[in-house]
Chains A and B, each alone.
Chain A
Amino acid sequence: MKPLRLLALFIIPMGLIIAAVPQNKTKPYKLTADQLLGEANTRTQYVAPETVADMIVKKDPSFQLIDVRNQDEFEKFSLPGAINIPVSDLLSDKYSDILNQDVKMNIFYSNGTIIANEAWMVTRQLGYKNNFVLEGGLNYWFDAILNPQKPASTSPDEEFAKYDFRLSAGKALGGGLTVKTNQNQSSASSKPALQSAPKKKKAAGGC
Chain B
Amino acid sequence: MVNSKESKKTKYLNPYVGGVLLGIVLLAANFVSGRGLGASGAIKSAVVSSVSAIAPSASEKSGFIKEFRTEHPGNPMKTWLVFEMTGVLVGGFLSGAFAGRLKFKVEHSPKITSTKRLLLALTGGVLFGFGSQLGRGCTSGSALSGMAVLSLGGFITMMAIFGTAYAFAYLFRKNWI
Q: Which residues of A contact B (CB under 8 A)?
A: 3-4, 6-7, 202-207
Contact = CB atoms under 8 A, between A and B. Distances in A.
Contact of A203 (B33, B40, B132): B33
A206 B16 contact: no
B95 interface: no
* 10 closest A-B pairs by CB: A203-B34, A205-B35, A207-B41, A203-B35, A3-B16, A206-B137, A7-B16, A3-B14, A207-B137, A206-B136
A19 to B, nearest CB: 13
23 contacts: A3-B16, A3-B17, A4-B16, A7-B16, A7-B20, A203-B33, A203-B35, A204-B35, A204-B80, A205-B34, A205-B35, A205-B36, A205-B38, A205-B145, A206-B136, A206-B137, A206-B141, A206-B142, A206-B145, A207-B38, A207-B41, A207-B81, A207-B137
Contacts of A202: 34
Contacts of B142: 206
Interface residues of B, number: 22
Contact of A207 (B16, B34, B40): B40
Interface of B: 14, 16-17, 20, 33-36, 38, 40-41, 44, 71, 80-81, 132-133, 136-137, 141-142, 145
Nearest to B41: A207
Per DSSP, are chain B's interface residues mostly helix, strand or loop, or mixed?
Answer: helix
A7 B18 CA distance: 12
Nearest to A10: B20
A206 B30 CA distance: 12
Contacts of A7: 16, 20
Nearest to A4: B16
Given A7-B20, A207-B40, A207-B41, 14 more contacts: A3-B17, A4-B16, A6-B16, A203-B34, A204-B71, A205-B38, A206-B35, A206-B136, A206-B142, A207-B38, A207-B44, A207-B132, A207-B136, A207-B141
A201 to B, nearest CB: 8
Contacts of A4: 16
Nearest to B133: A207
Contacts of A3: 14, 16-17
Contacts of A203: 33-35
A206 B132 CA distance: 10
Q: Which of B35, B44, B132 has the most CB of A within 10 A?
A: B35
A206 B34 contact: no
A6 B20 CA distance: 12
Contacts of A207: 38, 40-41, 44, 81, 132-133, 136-137, 141
A145 B141 CA distance: 59
B41 A206 contact: yes
A126 to B, nearest CB: 19
A206 B41 CA distance: 8
B14 A206 contact: no
